[in-house]
């Protein structure tokens, strides 16, 4: 009876959150420009309701009561435990702080846009200072063990700590620098797809075919255009992806759709019966990202994938693909090249972009770095890790929207995603020795079903660490990513 | 101070209503089929909040206090008066009744769909009986003077009464029967656009051009496809229309877009400063419909309009329009032909469809007709008024969705819309003697601006009756419609 009441309350909160998600999706995909003002107040009104319901005292008492109820099943107990943790966390935010933060964010977002226009970090710096001050305050509100940055990371990757990420990234830095060094002594292979035009409507058809093959259910989702690709959902039966087109680069839209499709398979794989409950929600951003990157990279940049997929792009772009081969497509998707922009980075150098941001954020939060010195620190690290000179702020410290959105503690989850992905994929290959053959023949559903069964169906019932242990038999181990990447690059760069 | 609190409360309620409107728009336009289940619970959760806030006791006390505040301006007083009326009305609905009605409606909607599939009214009848019983109960909850049906009409057309509509429709019946009689003795002119194919994407471009010419602001709205054309809005700066395509009939999509565009101009013409207030909302469905029909019929089926618009359709369909003239387009849009389906009816016979529904609804509500006898009554009236035999329920009593939606008291507003439109348009012509010349040259903005200034900007500050008096100097007068139609048909049917 009490548990039923708990479910109903959670589902009502979910109704509000998902309504907000639709308001936001529409804002990115459909909304006419003049609609922005009223839309933002509508989102804000719904957010206040969601917050009030999430911190409702009666709900708190119900959770407390249920957390002592020994008659509950294991799954019910786990739901209560997570909801209680969420509830207690929400309580730590007083409404004064929430208001201050949200007004600082909207100021920072405007300042960031202005700074981008002028290509000048100084315009953004004062607003960012405010954000950093508030984020430092937030760590105190939330409380933390060992390092204040832990409090922020916990929001995106529950359980992640500076200690763990520092130690992980030390190894990553060493191994990937070594790999990068090896590659830098080799010739860069040719991207034979470059320098041609690829009509967007044809690219779109290819992405639809790819998504279909992956097992994305179009009767429980849809794809649209948006300036920044993303995946969102309004329940497990309405999970939408967006993509963007670049007619100069065939693989930009394709890999973006595969990436978002990977996110979408996770959300479509959650169980409708768990709507609104922790068991019906994703574990962490790192695990979410593992799903998108597994499809984008481990599958979508593999030789096996292009064995079956080259004919799809060839069908839609016969002229551009004339004389080219499956192998050429594989190569074009795996060229390593240090560059300044994170979102355009390859699978290897990407992680240096992340480690730079992680390091800088951590120092901003702990107070060993101030915003006024951020640009210099940024540029020094790009020189140190990637050997690149940052010539302008837009190519440097202004490139990401995260800080303007008040998202700090987020970046590491991108790398965690890649590392989890490699480990999961290795396990999938072990359990399905014919997986590569299947992929060579375009049969991807077997992998989707494996992920559904091993990961998606559980929602948050297991933590990131637990699901990794459960699925692969060990903790997160960077060596799987390292091996995967080295093996692939060896065949391309010949060593 | 109190008035400011009043505004804030109204605007928060509006935030919820407009969020619901987006959830519904998305449902019609974008939602994948499997999304329906969760969507309906999301809408229901938001509806409960909107109802709770609308009937909040503190809000009631605030309204009571403000309704005695003599320091308010005329406009403020009018807002309070209307909000207080809305509040008191909302209070009359107890939650038990709301639940019963909403469950009856969802049952009726399913039954109606099943009945349509089987083309058999008997399948729908039991569910409709329940709706009618609840609607009779609703008239008691709401209270009424003179006739129970007045309580229901008031929801859609505040102030409309059976006495007024009966007397109006008596005149309408007489005059339009006479006109129809005259026409039936003449030859039906040829629709020279019939029997050809019109590609939907080209039709779409024409509708965009038409909407643009009317002054529809695409930066504060958008057009999409949907099975049933409608207009909705999320504030005055985000007003969306939908349309449908029929490649066999050029004018189906065009007139549908113009019609919805007319609705949209009304909503775009409301003042953003009045967001959430009565002054920022439409007067009644009759007045709303007057705006759509003024554009669809008085403008869009006029000879002047086709003088400038024929070249637009000719540009997009040069082959189909070869050898045809502006006059042919005018004729094709004005052929009178009795038929069984309301939504396909011409400007004249349309009102018989409405009068039949009005009469039947009124009798159902007053209890002089029962659902079991509805089909027979329906068919008899089609024979009597239009001389037609109804051969199947889908072409008869099952054709409209309104009853399945629990909307009773609605239909008369369609005819009111046509009559108000003719009266407003007559006034516009009087005040702008060069209006027809402007329209002949495709300059429609002058009319949009006139409507903005005379009607739209005031929202609900004036009632339908008051705005009619204010704009035209007299009460609603059917003779304007009669004259308008007779004059036009005379030129086409030559008498």
Flag whether pLDDT at B1 surpasses 90: no
Taking the CA of residue B404 and the nearest CA in chain A, the distance in Å comes to 26
DSSP annotation of A294 reads I
Show contacts of B303-312: CB within 8 Å, 24+ apart. Answer: B303/B327, B303/B330, B303/B491, B304/B436, B304/B437, B304/B439, B304/B440, B305/B439, B306/B330, B306/B333, B307/B439, B307/B440, B307/B441, B308/B439, B308/B440, B308/B441, B308/B442, B309/B210, B309/B442, B312/B206, B312/B209, B312/B210
Q: Which of A130, A260, A296, A303 is catalytic?
A: A260
Which of A15, A42, A221 is facing B15, going by the closest CB pair? Answer: A42
Segment holding A308, helix H or strand E: helix A303-316
pLDDT digit string, tens, across residues B345-392: 999 999 999 999 999 999 999 999 999 999 999 999 999 999 999 999
Q: Which two tokens stand for residue B483?
A: 């004259």
**Residue A107 pLDDT:** 92
Question: B39 — contact with chain A (CB < 8 Å)?
Answer: yes
pLDDT digit string, tens, across residues B131-148: 999 999 999 999 999 999
Q: Do B32 and A234 touch (CB under 8 A)?
A: no
DSSP string covering B463-487? -HHHHHHHHHSSS--HHHHHHHHHH
Q: Do A237 and B26 touch (CB under 8 A)?
A: no
Q: How far apart are CA A331 and CA A239, in angstroms?
A: 32
Q: Do A46 and B11 touch (CB under 8 A)?
A: no
Which positions 221-260 of A are in contact with B (Cβ < 8 Å)? 221-222, 234-235, 237-238
Distance of CA B298 to the CA centre of its chain: 16
Q: How far apart are CA B357 and CA B377, in angstroms?
A: 10
**Residue A409 pLDDT:** 98
**Residue B99 pLDDT:** 87
Flag whether pLDDT at A191 surpasses 90: yes
Q: Do B238 and A41 touch (CB under 8 A)?
A: no
| Sequence spans of domains, chain A | 2-92, 120-495
| Averaged pLDDT for residues B272-286 | 98
Contact list in A for residue B23 (CB cut-off 8 A) is 19, 22
Which of B23, B221, B238 is facing A22, going by the closest CB pair? Answer: B23
Beta strands in B151-230 (DSSP E): 221-225
A197 CB-side CA count, 13 A: 2
Unique residue bearing structure tokens 């279909």: A212
Angle between helices B36-54 and B74-92 (to 10 degrees): 120
Residues 6+ apart with CB under 8 A from A209: A312
Q: Do B23 and A26 touch (CB under 8 A)?
A: no
Q: Do A238 and B23 touch (CB under 8 A)?
A: no
Confidence of residue A50 (pLDDT cuts 50, 70, 90): very high
Taking the CA of residue B236 and the nearest CA in chain A, the distance in Å comes to 8
Which of B38, B49, B221 is facing A234, going by the closest CB pair? Answer: B38
In DSSP terms, B241 is beta-bridged to B223, B231
**Percentage of chain B with pLDDT > 70?**
100
* CB-based burial, B191-207: b 16+ in 10 Å, e otherwise: bbbeeeebeeebbbebb
Q: Which two tokens stand for residue A446?
A: 């077997």
Q: Which CATH number fits the domain A120-495, given the four candidates 3.20.20.70, 3.40.50.10800, 1.10.1370.30, 3.40.50.300? A: 1.10.1370.30
pLDDT digit string, tens, across residues B388-423: 999 999 999 999 999 999 999 999 999 999 999 999
Can you say whether residue A84 is alpha, beta or left, with left for phi > 0 and alpha for psi between -120 and 50 degrees? Answer: alpha
Unique residue bearing structure tokens 């309906």: B40
Which of B38, B219, B272 is facing A235, going by the closest CB pair? Answer: B38
Secondary structure class of A284 (helix, strand, coil): coil
Residue from A125, A158, A91, A112 nearest A463 by CA: A158
Angle between helices A2-29 and A57-67 (to 10 degrees): 130
Flag whether pLDDT at A370 surpasses 90: yes
Question: A49 — contact with chain B (CB < 8 Å)?
Answer: yes
Q: How far apart are CA B128 and CA B393, in angstroms?
A: 14
A20 CB-side CA count, 13 A: 17
pTM metric for this prediction: 0.95
Question: A16 — contact with chain B (CB < 8 Å)?
Answer: yes
CA-based end-to-end distance of chain A: 65
pLDDT digit string, tens, across residues B170-220: 999 999 999 999 999 999 999 999 999 999 999 999 999 999 999 999 999
Contact list in A for residue B39 (CB cut-off 8 A) is 234-235, 238
How confident is the prediction for chain B on average, in pLDDT?
97
Contact list in B for residue A234 (CB cut-off 8 A) is 35, 38-39, 42
- Which alpha helices (DSSP H) does B185-302 contain, by range? 200-214, 250-268, 285-293
Q: Which two tokens stand for residue A67?
A: 């957390």
Q: What's the CA dihedral at B256, B257, B260, B261 to 10 degrees?
A: -150
| Averaged pLDDT for residues A86-104 | 92
- Cβ atoms within 10 Å, residue B255: 21
Contact list in A for residue B35 (CB cut-off 8 A) is 220, 234-235, 237-238
Flag whether pLDDT at A486 surpasses 90: yes
Q: Do A34 and B217 touch (CB under 8 A)?
A: yes
CA angle B231, B233, B239 (to 5 degrees): 75
Which of A33, A38, A219 is facing B235, going by the closest CB pair? Answer: A38
Unique residue bearing structure tokens 């003719």: B422
Strands B221-225 and A231-235, sheet pairing: unpaired
Taking the CA of residue B293 and the nearest CA in chain A, the distance in Å comes to 25
Q: Which two tokens stand for residue A68?
A: 């002592």
> Chain A interface, mutation test: which of B12, B14, B27, B38, most A Cβ atoms within 10 Å?
B38
Confidence of residue A122 (pLDDT cuts 50, 70, 90): very high
Q: Do B22 and A23 touch (CB under 8 A)?
A: yes
Q: How far apart are CA A488 and CA A298, in angstroms?
A: 10
Angle between helices A74-92 and A121-142 (to 10 degrees): 120
Handedness of CA B314, B320, B324, B328 (dihedral sign): negative
| Averaged pLDDT for residues A193-210 | 97
Segment holding B242, helix H or strand E: strand B238-243
Flag whether pLDDT at B227 surpasses 90: no
For B13, the closest chain A residue by CA position comes to A45
**Percentage of chain B with pLDDT > 90?**
97
Residue from B294, B304, B316 nearest B193 by CA: B316
Is A260 in the active site? yes
Distance of CA B241 to the CA centre of its chain: 13
Question: B19 — contact with chain A (CB < 8 Å)?
Answer: yes
Confidence of residue B94 (pLDDT cuts 50, 70, 90): confident
Question: B46 — contact with chain A (CB < 8 Å)?
Answer: yes
Contact list in B for residue A45 (CB cut-off 8 A) is 12, 15-16, 19
The answer to whether residues A390 and A136 touch, using CB atoms and an 8 Å cutoff, is: no
The answer to whether residues A461 and A479 touch, using CB atoms and an 8 Å cutoff, is: no
Segment holding A409, helix H or strand E: none
- Cβ atoms within 10 Å, residue B370: 13
pLDDT digit string, tens, across residues B25-46: 999 999 999 999 999 999 999 9
Q: How far apart are CA B11 and CA B278, in angstroms?
A: 11
The answer to whether residues B332 and B350 touch, using CB atoms and an 8 Å cutoff, is: no
DSSP annotation of B272 reads G
Q: Do B32 and A235 touch (CB under 8 A)?
A: no
Q: Which fold has domain B119-495?
A: 1.10.1370
Q: How far is CA A160 from CA A93, A286, A416, in A?
A: 21, 10, 10
Contact list in A for residue B34 (CB cut-off 8 A) is 217, 219-220, 237-238
Question: A7 — contact with chain B (CB < 8 Å)?
Answer: no
Which positions 266-325 of A are in contact with B (Cβ < 8 Å)? 272, 275
Question: A23 — contact with chain B (CB < 8 Å)?
Answer: yes
DSSP string covering A63-82? HHHHHT-TTS-HHHHHHHHH
Segment holding B218, helix H or strand E: none
Q: Do B234 and A39 touch (CB under 8 A)?
A: yes
Question: B41 — contact with chain A (CB < 8 Å)?
Answer: yes
ipTM at complex level: 0.94
Q: Do A35 and B235 touch (CB under 8 A)?
A: yes
Q: Do B32 and A238 touch (CB under 8 A)?
A: yes
Question: A181 — contact with chain B (CB < 8 Å)?
Answer: no
CA-based end-to-end distance of chain B: 65
**Residue A95 pLDDT:** 83
Q: How far is CA B307 from CA A240, B38, B152, in A?
A: 45, 49, 43
Q: How far apart are CA A99 and CA A103, in angstroms?
A: 6
DSSP annotation of B373 reads G
Taking the CA of residue B271 and the nearest CA in chain A, the distance in Å comes to 13
pLDDT digit string, tens, across residues A227-248: 889 999 999 999 999 999 999 9
Strands B238-243 and B231-235, sheet pairing: antiparallel
Q: Do A23 and B19 touch (CB under 8 A)?
A: yes
pLDDT digit string, tens, across residues A322-369: 999 999 999 999 999 999 999 999 999 999 999 999 999 999 999 999
**Residue A333 pLDDT:** 97
Q: How far apart are CA B251 and CA B305, in angstroms?
A: 14
Task: Give the number of beta-carbon pairs within 8 Å between A and B.
Answer: 102
pLDDT digit string, tens, across residues A136-173: 999 999 999 999 999 999 999 999 999 999 999 999 99
Q: How far apart are CA B188 and CA B178, in angstroms?
A: 17
């Amino acid at each position: 009876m009490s548990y039923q009441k708990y479910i109903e309350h959670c589902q009502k909160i979910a109704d509000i959150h998902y309504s907000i998600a639709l308001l936001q999706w529409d804002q990115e995909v459909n909304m006419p420009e003049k609609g922005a003002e009223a839309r933002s107040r509508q989102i804000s009104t719904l957010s206040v309701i969601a917050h009030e319901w999430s911190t409702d005292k009666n709900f708190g008492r119900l959770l407390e009561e249920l957390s002592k109820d020994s008659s509950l099943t294991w799954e019910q107990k786990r739901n209560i435990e997570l909801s209680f943790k969420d509830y207690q966390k929400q309580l730590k935010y007083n409404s004064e702080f929430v208001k201050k933060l949200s007004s600082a964010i909207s100021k920072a977002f405007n300042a960031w846009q202005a700074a981008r226009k002028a290509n000048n970090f100084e315009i953004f710096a004062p607003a960012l200072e405010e954000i950093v001050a508030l984020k430092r305050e937030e760590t105190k509100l939330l409380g933390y063990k060992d390092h204040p940055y832990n409090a922020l990371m916990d929001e995106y990757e529950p359980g992640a700590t500076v200690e763990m990420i520092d130690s992980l990234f030390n190894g990553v830095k060493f191994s990937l620098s070594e790999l990068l060094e090896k590659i830098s002594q080799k010739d860069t292979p040719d991207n034979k797809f470059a320098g041609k035009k690829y009509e967007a409507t044809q690219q779109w058809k290819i992405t639809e075919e790819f998504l279909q093959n992956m097992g994305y259910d179009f009767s429980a989702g849809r794809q649209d255009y948006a300036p920044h690709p993303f995946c969102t959902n309004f329940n497990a039966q309405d999970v939408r992806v967006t993509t963007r087109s670049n007619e100069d680069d065939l693989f930009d839209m394709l890999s973006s759709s595969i990436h978002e499709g990977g996110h979408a398979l996770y959300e479509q794989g959650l169980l409708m019966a768990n709507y609104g409950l922790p068991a019906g929600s994703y574990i962490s951003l790192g695990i979410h990202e593992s799903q998108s990157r597994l499809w984008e990279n481990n599958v979508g940049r593999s030789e096996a994938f292009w064995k079956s997929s080259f004919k799809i792009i060839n069908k839609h772009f016969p002229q551009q693909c004339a004389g080219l081969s499956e192998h050429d497509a594989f190569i074009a998707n795996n060229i390593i090249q240090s560059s300044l922009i994170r979102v355009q980075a390859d699978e290897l150098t990407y992680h240096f972009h992340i480690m730079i941001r992680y390091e800088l954020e951590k120092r901003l939060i702990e107070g060993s770095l101030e915003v006024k010195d951020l640009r210099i620190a940024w540029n020094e690290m790009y020189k140190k890790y990637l050997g690149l000179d940052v010539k302008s702020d837009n190519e440097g410290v202004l490139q990401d929207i995260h800080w303007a959105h008040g998202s700090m503690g987020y970046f590491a989850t991108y790398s965690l995603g890649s590392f989890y992905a490699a480990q999961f994929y290795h396990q999938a290959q072990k359990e399905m020795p014919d997986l590569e053959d299947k992929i060579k023949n375009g049969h991807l559903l077997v992998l989707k079903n494996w992920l559904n069964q091993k990961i998606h169906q559980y929602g948050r019932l297991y933590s990131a660490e637990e699901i990794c242990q459960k699925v692969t038999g060990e903790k997160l181990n960077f060596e799987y990513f390292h091996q995967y990447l080295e093996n692939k690059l060896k065949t391309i760069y010949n060593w």
